[in-house]
Amino acid sequence: MARLNVNLTRMVLTNLKRRLNTARRGHKLLKDKRDELMKKFLEIVKENRKEREKVEKMLMDVHSRFIMARALMSDTHLEEALIYPKQKVTLKASSKNVMSVQVPVFEFETEGQGDRDIFPYGFANTSGELDEAIIALSKVTPHLLRLAELEKTAQLMADEIEKTRRRVNALEYVMIPNLEETIKYIVMKLDENERGNLTRLMKVKDMILEQAHGYKKKMTEES
Question: Which residues face 91 on adjacent strands?
Answer: 108
d(CA 88, CA 69): 23
Task: Establish if 198 belongs to a structural domain.
Answer: no
d(CA 44, CA 103): 12
Higher pLDDT, 82 or 170: 170
Task: Establish if 202 belongs to a structural domain.
Answer: no
Task: Establish if 22 belongs to a structural domain.
Answer: yes
pLDDT by residue (tens digit) across 177-210?
999 999 999 998 888 877 777 777 777 776 777 7
Name the pTM for this structure: 0.73
pLDDT by residue (tens digit) across 8-45?
888 989 999 999 999 999 999 999 999 999 999 999 99
d(CA 91, CA 113): 18
**What's the pLDDT at 59?**
92
Task: Establish if 42 belongs to a structural domain.
Answer: yes
Give how many domains the chain has, as a whole number. 1
Range list of H helices, the chain: 10-72, 75-82, 128-170, 176-222
Burial class (CB in 10 A: 0-12, 13-18, 19+), 136: middle
Task: Establish if 193 belongs to a structural domain.
Answer: no
Instruction: Reply yes or no on whether the pLDDT at 1 is more than 70.
Output: no
Which residue range(s) make up the domain with 167? 10-181
The CATH number assigned to the domain holding 64 equals 1.10.287.3240
Phi, psi torsion values for 46, nearest 5 degrees: -65, -45
Burial class (CB in 10 A: 0-12, 13-18, 19+), 5: exposed
**What's the pLDDT at 49?**
95
Question: Which residues face 97 on adjacent strands?
Answer: 102
- Three-state DSSP at 90 gives strand
Task: Establish if 204 belongs to a structural domain.
Answer: no
**What's the pLDDT at 179?**
93
Task: Establish if 199 belongs to a structural domain.
Answer: no
Task: Establish if 213 belongs to a structural domain.
Answer: no
Question: Which residues face 106 on adjacent strands?
Answer: 93
Residue 6 exposure: Cα atoms within 13 Å on the Cβ side: 22
